[in-house]
Structure 1
Amino acid sequence: MKHLFSFIVVALFLSYGFSFAADVDTVAVPSKGMNINSKTVIITPDNYRQGTRYPVLYLLHGYSGNYSDWVKAVPGVKQLSDDYGMIIVCPDGAYGSWYFDSPVDSAFAYETYVAKELVEWVDANYKTIPTREGRAITGLSMGGHGGLYLAFRHQDVFGAAGSMSGGVDIRPFPNNWDIAKRLGKQSDYPERWEQNTVIGMLHLLTPNSLKFIIDCGSEDFFYDVNVRLHEELLYRNIPHDFISRPGVHDWKYWSNAVKYQALFFHTYFEEGRSGN
């Protein structure tokens, strides 16, 4: 009887754990523009079946990564979905897309895919809050660039954005990470590089038009460009959160940074719900 009781307790515990934990699905989302079905991880919180609608955080991977990076490298991302009652969407940005609609290669139309096609598909298939007040976007490294780049250019879609160790100024890196493959050589097309670097897009912002957070380790090779972005935002009187602490360009740093960013977006979502 004692062993039977122990078995029942363990079974109930396991049942509770599986019944009340974030669900992780991998889906194929169609892109008409690129004529592909792109794999995407979608995390729904433990209470998703209760019938309410949920805000969505779009979480982008870095250069050479893919849609599965976040859940594999930072399993705690699933807990953030539960803790803050948000859907988390991890799209595939391909190898070195930089989330551009490339003027060089039509196979790379990831601005349109993420900011339009993916958002529309998620809103059609999940119980989302289908407004800018219910959407945020962030990412690491190339995805940090992507989070700010897409939000700055699509403020009707995203109300909040972030960057973790982001390549927020691509101009100092003309030979790195396939950027030239997406925009053309900087020496041949300098205007493209100016128009498509985050720090060159601040004219698109007005104070408080977008809530956003920037996070970068002090030993990161992108640290200097992040500090310059922060200083330029201060000069323009554009409110934002800027976090820096010891750290390099690695998953140890990002697994910590994403916790701060998730809290930031949760606060934004809650303010939207309360009307503040």
Structure 2
Amino acid sequence: MSIRILSKLLFIPLVFLFLNTRAARVDTVTIHSGIMKRDIKAVVITPAKYNKSSSYPVVYLLHGFSGNYADWVTKDPAVKALADQYNCLIVCPDGAFASWYIDSPVNKYWMFDTYVSKELVAYVDDHFSTIRNRSGRAITGLSMGGHGAITMGINHQDVYGAMGSMSGCMDLRPYKKDFAINQILGEYDKDPQSWLDHSATGMVGKLKPGALKIVFDCGSDDFFFGINNAFHEQLLAAKIPHDYTVRPGGHTWEYWSNSINYQMLFFRRFFDKQI
């Protein structure tokens, strides 16, 4: 074997070694929730260029019904590269099997709105070099997480500057016996107003035009397609600016793995305008 060929063969693994060392870092952290009196895990993805001398924006990325904090990095590993591409942190909270990211009015041990938007955000800001205000924070998620991102974004407009949803359940009321929502809100017939008040569609009145940057989408074959269209029409009627996209696809990881690319670009543009 010639020296030239040998040197090329040795160069190839060195290139891969360099690329691997420059990849985004994925950490699993444990946060103690004071309000729920338990430890909860989250994934934090830091970009390859991360260093403590700079401050980075953060995208909070929520999982769906029956999932957990590791869903995004295990079911869509390419999401890690988006932290590098957009030079931001991506934080994946745990929303339990079916919390719906709600502060439950019937069970004081299910307070996931407060946990994510106050306790987790405070932890991330304390342990990582972040932009510590709404100009550097966005929140989005899929399905149950899409619902949570929109409702928490509206409830905490002082915390987040942008919010999004992928295939989110914008109205909980059609699912009175589904997805364990009644375990969080109680039986629908006992308090239908509570179901509306905790749905994204019931919170539009809290929004002012331009107060939040909003992006959401849904697949044309998704069973939540109708309520996403209705939410879009509701925002139009209220004159709330937003980006709404319909693409072919269903309630699948194939759809969400594609959708997150567009949402991350939307959020990066939002962050850039804040600088």
TM-score for the superposition, normalised by structure 2: 0.97
Alignment identity in percent? 48
| Equivalent residue, structure 2, for 1:36 | 38
Return the match for 1:248 from 247, 250, 255.
250
| Runs of 4+ more than 3 Å apart | 1-4
Return the match for 2:192 from 173, 190, 193.
190
Compute the displacement of 1:4 (Å): 5.0
Alpha-carbon distance in structure 1 between the residues aligned to 2:173 and 2:13: 57
2:89 is the counterpart of 1:87: yes
Compute the displacement of 1:126 (Å): 0.3
Compute the displacement of 1:2 (Å): 5.1
* Structure 2 residue identity aligned to 1:252: E
* Structure 1 residue identity aligned to 2:182: A
* Structure 1 residue identity aligned to 2:246: S
| Equivalent residue, structure 2, for 1:52 | 54
Three-state SS of the structure 1 residue aligned to 2:41 is strand
**1:107-122 superposed matches below 5 A:** 107-122=109-124
Compute the displacement of 1:5 (Å): 2.1
For the 8 Å contact 2:101–2:112, the answer to whether it is kept is: yes
Moved more, 5-14 or 84-93: 5-14
Three-state SS of the structure 2 residue aligned to 1:48 is coil
* Structure 1 residue identity aligned to 2:180: D
Alpha-carbon distance in structure 1 between the residues aligned to 2:191 and 2:239: 31
| Equivalent residue, structure 2, for 1:167 | 169
Using a 3 Å threshold, how does the CA distance of structure 1 residues 40 and 2 change in structure 2: closer, same or farther? same
* Structure 2 residue identity aligned to 1:45: P
* Structure 2 residue identity aligned to 1:162: G
Alpha-carbon distance in structure 2 between the residues aligned to 1:52 and 1:8: 35
Alpha-carbon distance in structure 2 between the residues aligned to 1:38 and 1:32: 11
Alpha-carbon distance in structure 2 between the residues aligned to 1:69 and 1:203: 32
- Post-superposition Cα deviations, 1:159-217, rounded to whole Å, max 9, x if no partner, equal 00000000011111111101100000110011211110100100100000000101100
Compute the displacement of 1:3 (Å): 6.5
| Equivalent residue, structure 2, for 1:236 | 238
Three-state SS of the structure 2 residue aligned to 1:101 is coil
Q: Where in structure 1 are there 5+ consecutive unaligned residues?
A: none
RMSD, aligned α-carbons: 1.1
Alpha-carbon distance in structure 2 between the residues aligned to 1:50 and 1:99: 30
Alpha-carbon distance in structure 2 between the residues aligned to 1:11 and 1:260: 33
* Structure 1 residue identity aligned to 2:207: L
Three-state SS of the structure 1 residue aligned to 2:36 is coil
| Equivalent residue, structure 2, for 1:225 | 227
Compute the displacement of 1:7 (Å): 5.0
For the 8 Å contact 2:52–2:129, the answer to whether it is kept is: no
**1:96-111 superposed matches below 5 A:** 96-111=98-113
| Equivalent residue, structure 1, for 2:145 | 143
* Structure 2 residue identity aligned to 1:269: F
| Equivalent residue, structure 2, for 1:129 | 131
**1:56-71 superposed matches below 5 A:** 56-71=58-73
Alpha-carbon distance in structure 1 between the residues aligned to 2:32 and 2:272: 31
Moved more, 105-114 or 118-127: 105-114
TM-score for the superposition, normalised by structure 1: 0.96
Return the match for 2:76 from 74, 77, 88.
74
Three-state SS of the structure 2 residue aligned to 1:206 is coil
Compute the displacement of 1:261 (Å): 0.4
- Post-superposition Cα deviations, 1:202-236, rounded to whole Å, max 9, x if no partner, equal 01000000001011001100000000000010011
Alpha-carbon distance in structure 1 between the residues aligned to 2:9 and 2:249: 45
* Structure 2 residue identity aligned to 1:59: L
| Equivalent residue, structure 1, for 2:266 | 264
| Equivalent residue, structure 2, for 1:153 | 155
Alpha-carbon distance in structure 1 between the residues aligned to 2:105 and 2:58: 29
Compute the displacement of 1:10 (Å): 2.8
Alpha-carbon distance in structure 2 between the residues aligned to 1:108 and 1:177: 15
| Equivalent residue, structure 1, for 2:203 | 201
* Structure 1 residue identity aligned to 2:225: Y
Compute the displacement of 1:29 (Å): 1.2
Compute the displacement of 1:50 (Å): 6.5
For the 8 Å contact 2:52–2:128, the answer to whether it is kept is: no
